[in-house]
């Protein structure tokens, strides 16, 4: 922005695009004097002052004290909707201009009080359509742009475990497919606040009929803005590219280019484009308030494939603060298609329960992610022949947590016959032992079990998985933390190792001494014949808790893996976010392995907004 800096007394209000020019309207206050100014730009990055705007009502000048204006072309005219305070209440008004400088106020638009966007001409200007709303988006129609008939809600707020998130209309345009409406989803969680720019398509002949509400966001405000005062200014399309403008406190006016936004919208039914990306629709599982057993947290999922589907067994905590296990499944690994209404595994042994839960959880020295009354925590599942072997943390609410093992026939599991074998403890008493998982193949006739006793990953070779309750893991071999690395404090196995052409791929979680409040995710390749030998190990984590769903919950700064699968050539890692929700991230397996072997860091692409200065 040339020669302009926005402050509390100088605020950008809206942008509008016409042919090769982008118009910016801003408001300034000098004492009681309020003025509107028009700046113009040919590229959206550099604006030059143009002129002041004049508002008249019945030919008398009026004070342009307006909020949330939106401008639409109507033939040789321009129509502006804006909010204005009338007798202590916000009302929506309309104004018309022939030269974009002098605006004639048309009066109040029906009884509307929230921001609205007029759709460009429909049916040769015989009908006008307005989408409006800041909590939910509704539709209104008019034959003469003066008298309006309000209609139903067409875009409802988004709801999830954290609450109900309002939607606010941003812009609308005519396309060959229909009316494309852009809107902001506004999320607040604790001290975090963010906006997501999204889109929906409506029928041109019946503009109240929703054709599709695109699940993939066009863009969302970066994490650097989460604790900053941010206001969306507007959206314009120029030469097939979309530009969104944002006023960021302490930064100024920012423009973000979205050159491939149409392609992004068309990917509705496709998984994200992978380098290694967190899914755009994370979290994929969240607590359900009216399910008493999973009302507080759903996280740390085991994962395996069977019958060409991905099966997830996740830890759940409900009203009684006891950890049980729930079940969900997915056809493509990215979207959950089925979720069981009841837990599929519950505590049955004294080592998994602390007694009768009360309304006040006890002070529990080893509790993680809630679950102060104990239960069955953090499952990992390995499929071997016709059986599923599940390891999990057995916790009674007070004693050091131990590793438990159970199993079930694959056929019974797929038929939802929860005939689990009697669980048995396989780690010794008095020692905190977690993060256990089983290699899916024998090595030299022995089963291989990974587990964690602080600070190492331990590896044991055992003759049988039929433990007698008196024989325990010993910790025969260790994979240790690395000094001055991201995994310098402690590490633990995440998902059961996956067999690849390059060795056993082990996804693991770790904590850094220099950043000890965060759990991060990395990977290592282990030798085929000797899985205690590490061939390659990621120099930096490829999943870090940077997103809101990894920081808002029972424990901020947690990305904790318990499951991973390979499906259609893609590696999908399932992990718990903030000890509260289930998330997923994915990559092309061959690319991921190549990067891991070459010691390249596997990381996420970050979008840097374009600064206007």
Quote the pLDDT of residue 249: 81
Quote the pLDDT of residue 59: 79
> Residue 582 pairs with which residues in a beta bridge?
285, 576
* CATH top class, domain 277-597: mainly beta
- Using DSSP's 3-state secondary structure scheme, residue 115 falls into coil
Quote the pLDDT of residue 355: 57
Q: What are the φ and ψ backbone dihedral angles of 336, each rounded to 5 degrees? A: -75, 125
Of 194, 203, 147, 156, the C-alpha closest to 176 is: 203
What's the rounded mean pLDDT across residues 162-186?
A: 90
Quote the pLDDT of residue 270: 40
pLDDT digits (tens, 9 = 90+) for 422-458: 999 999 999 999 999 999 999 999 999 999 999 999 9
Q: What are the φ and ψ backbone dihedral angles of 487, each rounded to 5 degrees? A: -115, 45
For the record, the structure tokens of 412 come out as 């019974």
Q: Where are the domains of the chain?
A: 10-270, 277-597
User: How far apart (Å, rounded) are the C-alpha atoms in residues 125 and 116?
Assistant: 18
Provide CB contacts within 8 A for 450, sequence distance 6+: 435, 436, 437, 438, 439, 457, 458, 459, 493, 497, 506
DSSP state of 446: B
Residue 361 preceded by cis peptide, ω within 30: no
Provide CB contacts within 8 A for 144, sequence distance 6+: none
pLDDT digits (tens, 9 = 90+) for 336-353: 999 999 999 999 998 887
What's the rounded mean pLDDT across residues 582-587?
A: 95
How does residue 226 score in pLDDT terms, banded at 50, 70 and 90? confident
3 has pLDDT over 70: no
Residue 41 belongs to what H/E stretch?
Answer: strand 33-41
The helix/strand count (H/E) of the chain reads as 3, 46
- Rounded mean pLDDT of the chain? 87
For the record, the structure tokens of 183 come out as 């809107």
Say yes or no: do domains 10-270 and 277-597 share a fold: yes
Give the start-end residues of each E strand in 161-240.
163-165, 167-174, 179-189, 192-202, 210-213, 219-220, 230-238
Contact, 108 vs 91, CB < 8 A?
yes
Q: What are the φ and ψ backbone dihedral angles of 575, each rounded to 5 degrees? A: -150, 160
Which CA distances in Å does 526 have to 438, 477, 511, 567, 587? 14, 13, 20, 21, 19
How does residue 45 score in pLDDT terms, banded at 50, 70 and 90? confident
Range 10-270 has CATH code 2.115.10.20 = yes
Higher pLDDT, 480 or 262: 480
Residue 138 belongs to what H/E stretch?
Answer: strand 137-142
Q: What are the φ and ψ backbone dihedral angles of 232, each rounded to 5 degrees? A: -70, 135
Contact, 456 vs 513, CB < 8 A?
no
Contact, 179 vs 207, CB < 8 A?
yes
How does residue 271 score in pLDDT terms, banded at 50, 70 and 90? very low
Residue 12 preceded by cis peptide, ω within 30: no
Strand bridging mode 33-41 / 48-52: antiparallel
User: How far apart (Å, rounded) are the C-alpha atoms in residues 197 and 179?
Assistant: 16
Higher pLDDT, 599 or 211: 211
Higher pLDDT, 225 or 584: 584
DSSP state of 361: -
292 has pLDDT over 80: yes
> Residue 509 pairs with which residues in a beta bridge?
492, 521
pLDDT digits (tens, 9 = 90+) for 106-154: 889 988 999 999 998 765 445 799 999 999 999 999 988 888 999 999 9
Contact, 94 vs 145, CB < 8 A?
yes
Length of the chain equals 613
pLDDT digits (tens, 9 = 90+) for 354-411: 655 444 545 556 666 655 678 999 999 999 999 999 999 999 988 999 999 999 999 9
Residue 189's CB is within 10 A of a number of other CB atoms, namely 16
How does residue 268 score in pLDDT terms, banded at 50, 70 and 90? very low
Contact, 564 vs 572, CB < 8 A?
yes
103 has pLDDT over 80: yes
The most distant pair of C-alpha atoms in the chain lies apart, rounded to whole Å, by 94
């Amino acid at each position: 922005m040339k020669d302009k800096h926005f402050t509390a007394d100088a605020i950008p209000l809206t942008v509008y695009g016409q042919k090769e020019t982008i118009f910016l309207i801003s408001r300034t206050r000098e004492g009681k004097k309020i003025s509107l100014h028009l700046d113009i730009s040919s590229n959206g990055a550099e604006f030059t002052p143009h002129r002041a705007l004049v508002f008249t009502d019945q030919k008398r000048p009026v004070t342009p004290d307006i909020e949330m204006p939106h401008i639409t072309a109507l033939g040789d005219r321009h129509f502006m909707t804006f909010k204005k305070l009338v007798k202590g209440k916000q009302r929506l008004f309309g104004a018309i201009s022939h030269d974009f400088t002098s605006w004639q106020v048309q009066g109040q638009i029906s009884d509307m009080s929230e921001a609205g966007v007029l759709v460009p001409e429909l049916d040769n200007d015989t009908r006008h359509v307005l989408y409006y709303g800041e909590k939910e988006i509704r539709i209104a129609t008019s034959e003469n742009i003066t008298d309006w008939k309000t209609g139903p809600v067409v875009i409802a707020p988004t709801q999830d475990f954290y609450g109900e998130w309002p939607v606010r209309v941003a812009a609308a345009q005519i396309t060959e497919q229909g009316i494309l409406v852009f809107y902001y989803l506004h999320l607040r969680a604790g001290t975090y606040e963010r906006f997501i720019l999204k889109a929906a398509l409506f029928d041109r002949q019946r503009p109240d009929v929703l054709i599709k509400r695109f699940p993939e966001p066009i863009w969302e405000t970066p994490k650097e803005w989460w604790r900053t005062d941010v206001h969306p200014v507007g959206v314009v399309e120029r030469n097939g590219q979309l530009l969104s403008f944002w006023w960021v406190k302490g930064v100024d006016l920012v423009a973000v280019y979205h050159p491939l936004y149409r392609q992004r919208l068309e990917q509705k039914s496709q998984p994200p484009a992978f380098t290694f990306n967190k899914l755009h629709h994370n979290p994929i599982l969240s607590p359900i308030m009216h399910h008493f057993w999973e009302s507080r947290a759903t996280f740390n999922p085991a994962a395996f494939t069977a019958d060409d589907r991905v099966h997830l067994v996740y830890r759940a905590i409900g009203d009684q603060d006891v950890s049980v296990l729930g079940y969900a499944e997915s056809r493509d690994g990215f979207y959950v298609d089925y979720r069981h209404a009841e837990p599929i595994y519950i505590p049955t042994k004294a080592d998994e329960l602390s007694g009768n839960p009360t309304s006040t959880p006890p002070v529990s020295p080893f509790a993680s992610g809630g679950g102060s009354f104990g239960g069955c925590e953090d499952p990992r599942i390995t499929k071997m022949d016709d059986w599923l072997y599940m390891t999990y943390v057995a916790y009674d609410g007070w004693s050091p947590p131990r590793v438990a093992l159970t199993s079930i026939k694959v056929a019974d599991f797929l038929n939802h016959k929860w005939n689990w074998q009697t669980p048995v403890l396989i780690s010794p008493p008095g020692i905190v032992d977690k993060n256990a998982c089983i290699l899916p193949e024998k090595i030299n006739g022995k089963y291989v079990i990974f587990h964690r006793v602080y600070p190492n990953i331990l590896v044991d070779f055992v003759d049988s998985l039929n433990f007698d309750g008196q024989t325990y893991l010993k910790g025969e071999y260790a994979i240790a933390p690395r000094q001055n690395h991201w995994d310098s404090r402690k590490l633990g196995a995440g998902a059961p190792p996956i067999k690849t052409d390059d060795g056993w791929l082990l996804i693991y979680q770790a904590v850094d001494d220099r950043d000890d409040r965060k759990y991060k995710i990395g990977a290592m390749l282990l030798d085929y014949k000797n899985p205690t030998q590490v061939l390659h190990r990621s120099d930096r984590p490829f999943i870090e808790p940077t997103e809101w769903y990894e920081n808002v919950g029972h424990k901020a700064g947690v990305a904790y893996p318990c499951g991973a699968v390979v499906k259609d050539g893609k590696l999908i890692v399932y992990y718990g976010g903030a000890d509260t929700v289930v998330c997923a991230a994915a990559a092309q397996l061959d690319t991921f392995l190549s990067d891991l072997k070459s010691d390249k860091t596997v990381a996420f692409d970050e979008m840097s907004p374009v600064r206007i200065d």
